Amino acid sequence: MSAFRHWRLERESDGVAWLTFDRADESVNTLARDAMEELSGVLDTLDGAPPRGLVIQSGKSGGFIAGADIGELGRVKDAREAHDLVARGWDLFNRLAAVPYPTCALVRGFCVGGGTELVLACRHVVAVDEPGTRFALPEVMLGIVPGWGGMLRLPARIGAPAALDMMLTGRMLDARRAKSLGLVDELAPARLMREHARARVLSGKARRPLPWLQRLLGGPLRSMVANKALAGVAKKAARKHYPAPYAIVDIWRDFGGNALALPPEHPSSIPALVAHPTSRNLQRVYHLRERLRGFGRRDDALPDIRRVHVVGAGVMGGDIATWCAQQGFHVTLQDQGLERIAPAMQRAARAFARKFRRDAAARRAALDRLVPDPDGAGVAGADLVIEAIWENLDAKHALLRDIEARARPHALIASNTSSLGLDELASALDAPERLVGIHFFNPVARMPLVEVVQGARSSEQAVRRAAAFVGALDKLPLPVRDAPGFLVNAVLGPYMLEAMRCVDEGVAPEAVDAAALDFGMAMGPIELADTVGLDIAMAAGHRLTGGAEPPLCLRARVDAGQLGRKSGQGFYAWKDGRPQRMTSTAIPAGLVERLIQPLLQVTRRCVEQGVVADADLADAGLIFGAGFAPHTGGPLHYDADLALQHDRLRS
């Protein structure tokens, strides 16, 4: 038994050493400085008495290694500290990769960032065949690069195209996909994982070599692969806002994956990336995401939600039901007749086919969990009932009264309303404390944020229960108070209306959207309005502006039946779900500032009025719910940075 604080080293009679990472006083394993110094000490010990083989595993029930300590990254003050942080992991994992005895990483649960780089430094990898076992190199999402060997070893193990895709997107691989690519050597059931790891590390097997084409792409054709990757990155992110993905390609192509080989003045060097404001802001976004996830943690003191009944099989209701079933909930979907439910079931079948394309059993199970229910029989057995019918107060009142009469006493009742007040809806109930808002965004499968709306009479328990349900859906719950448009729609409405006023003044829709995209928004405001539906945008604008006249360009299109994507024509013609734009057009000076100002003003007002608890949550809501440019750290953070810069200029 070892005397290390974070690592346990045990030797068995067959000569295999088992090294268990169990970071003291923490719920997850992170590769902080002290843990890495201890790992170096473990390797010193093994140098003195080498084992027949070494298996590295986690002592945490939830996962393998969650990567580096983000707090340490945030405390880096200068180029020297940035260099030292990277060198620490680079040197240690090179040492691990060079030990004379065979090594095997036994991975169960999440394995991300530095955890995946440690795995890549091992000769063998055995992964537990469970849905929770996943691998990722998400450093790009923090504005940095996988500097501890990931850019060197991942392309050598799975081929350059797949490795670059993984590093440039931060995308996770499940265990089976990792096995098919070659990142994982062997899959094992949990009950036999130690036996598989022991057999593997003692097997004497060599790693499966890369196919000759992959070796060619990583060698003589390296520049071609790099150029293709850079072209893909350029379509999604500008280098001025997001230098890290460009740096990954530069370092792999020109420096063999060694981030320490770049001169400090190189724009892709570690000091340059750490000093760039995007890195600081993306670390902020990471902490905002974790704060939202905290609201969604399961509370054992609250009644569990297993069965969900959704009323309304339109685009939103149907897609909410589909997502719930995909995430493991048993769902009944109600509407006026099977013919209204059928399109939602067809969309669900396609979604499950995409999600579970390599797992027919999981696909069938998801379909079995989603049951058409035209008579609403599922209300009586549901733990949660979500109404997602059209935005009509009388219709919703009648439905909520019927739900309350048939639902179990402990069942939570929720509305997906996007514009009606929760307090108005609650007036139909005898027990209004049961009602909360669970407001999803379209498209449900892609939008990470869900607003959890507390009305004046919603109970705290109901709100916490709703937030935990959202967390169980793998979404980010944002607690908001009942107010017109809540947070996201209240902010987006004036933003889109200002964009349309620009069109009224003769600015091309393409120029308006180009200005927003150049700033870093996920989608331009004109395309967003077309996507939402121009009739919905006009109705929401009417409510949010107190009945002000809509922009002329909006009214003209709605009057002509040109409602955007759903009708095939709005500000843009739509084909195969994509807007057909004219060629690029010049962006008028000051257009970005004009578009952003109303958004900033309304966001500040929402904080002042208590719609969200503080400015950080407002920033989180607009980043994850409206696609506000993540590189800025959020609208209010961006506004504060601008004010600080102006103060410096004046001084």
Domains of the chain: 7-225 (3.90.226.10), 489-611 (1.10.1040.50)
Torsion sign over Cα 408, 414, 420, 426: positive
pLDDT band at 358 (very low <50, low <70, confident <90, very high): confident
Burial of residue 394, with CB atoms counted within 10 A of its CB: 0-12 exposed, 13-18 middle, 19 or more buried: exposed
Strands 110-112, 173-174: pairing kind: unpaired
pLDDT band at 651 (very low <50, low <70, confident <90, very high): low
| Sequence-distant (≥ 6) Cβ neighbours of residue 152 within 8 angstroms | 256, 257, 258
Evaluate the omega torsion of the peptide bond into residue 443 and state whether it is cis, within 30 degrees of 0: yes
**pLDDT, mean over the chain:** 94
Residue 584 has pLDDT above 80, yes or no: no
Calpha distance 23→25 (Å, rounded): 7
Looking at residue 532, its pLDDT comes to 86
Q: Which ranges of 560-628 would DSSP assign to H, the alpha helix?
A: 591-608, 615-626
pLDDT band at 573 (very low <50, low <70, confident <90, very high): very high
> What percent of the chain is modeled with pLDDT above 90?
87
Instruction: Dump pLDDT digits (tens) for 377-415.
Output: 999 999 999 999 998 999 999 999 999 999 999 999 999
**Which of 161, 171, 92 minimizes the C-alpha distance to 139?**
171
Catalytic residue among 241, 330, 439, 631: 439
Residue 62 has pLDDT above 60, yes or no: yes
Looking at residue 79, its pLDDT comes to 85
Say what the alpha-carbon torsion angle 486, 490, 491, 495 is, to the nearest 10 degrees.
160
Looking at residue 147, its pLDDT comes to 96
Annotation marks residue 309 as catalytic: no
Annotation marks residue 439 as catalytic: yes
What is the pLDDT averaged over residues 184-211? 94
Residue 2 has pLDDT above 60, yes or no: no
Facing residues of 126 across strands? 106, 186
Annotation marks residue 26 as catalytic: no
Residue 93 has pLDDT above 60, yes or no: yes
> What percent of the chain is modeled with pLDDT above 70?
99
Looking at residue 3, its pLDDT comes to 77
Annotation marks residue 489 as catalytic: yes
Catalytic residue among 418, 458, 498, 510: 418
Bigger pLDDT: 609 vs 300: 609
Instruction: Dump pLDDT digits (tens) for 142-174.
Output: 999 999 999 999 999 999 999 999 999 999 999
Instruction: Dump pLDDT digits (tens) for 508-518.
Output: 999 999 999 99
What is the pLDDT averaged over residues 70-89? 90
Residue 240 has pLDDT above 90, yes or no: yes
Return the structure tokens found at 120. Answer: 């890549």
Mean pLDDT check: name the lowest of 355-359, 513-517, 543-547. 543-547
Residue 488 sits at φ, ψ, to 5 deg, of: -65, -50
Torsion sign over Cα 496, 520, 450, 317: positive
Catalytic residue among 489, 510, 527, 637: 489
Residue 432 has pLDDT above 90, yes or no: yes
Looking at residue 296, its pLDDT comes to 96
CA 387 from centroid of its chain's CA atoms: 26
Mean pLDDT check: name the lowest of 54-58, 381-385, 574-578, 646-650. 646-650
| Three-class secondary structure of residue 60 per DSSP | coil
**Which of 88, 103, 97, 96 minimizes the C-alpha distance to 31?**
88
Looking at residue 628, its pLDDT comes to 96
pLDDT band at 66 (very low <50, low <70, confident <90, very high): very high
Calpha distance 546→341 (Å, rounded): 35
pLDDT band at 251 (very low <50, low <70, confident <90, very high): very high
Calpha distance 70→101 (Å, rounded): 32
Residue entry with tokens 């892609």: 446
Residue 376's CB is within 10 A of a number of other CB atoms, namely 19
Looking at residue 583, its pLDDT comes to 73
Instruction: Dump pLDDT digits (tens) for 121-130.
Output: 999 999 999 9
Residue 188 sits at φ, ψ, to 5 deg, of: -140, 145
Residue 337 has pLDDT above 90, yes or no: yes
pLDDT band at 547 (very low <50, low <70, confident <90, very high): confident
pTM for the full predicted model: 0.92
Residue 1 has pLDDT above 60, yes or no: no
Catalytic residue among 117, 186, 404, 451: 451
**CB of 334 closer than 8 Å to CB of 310:** yes
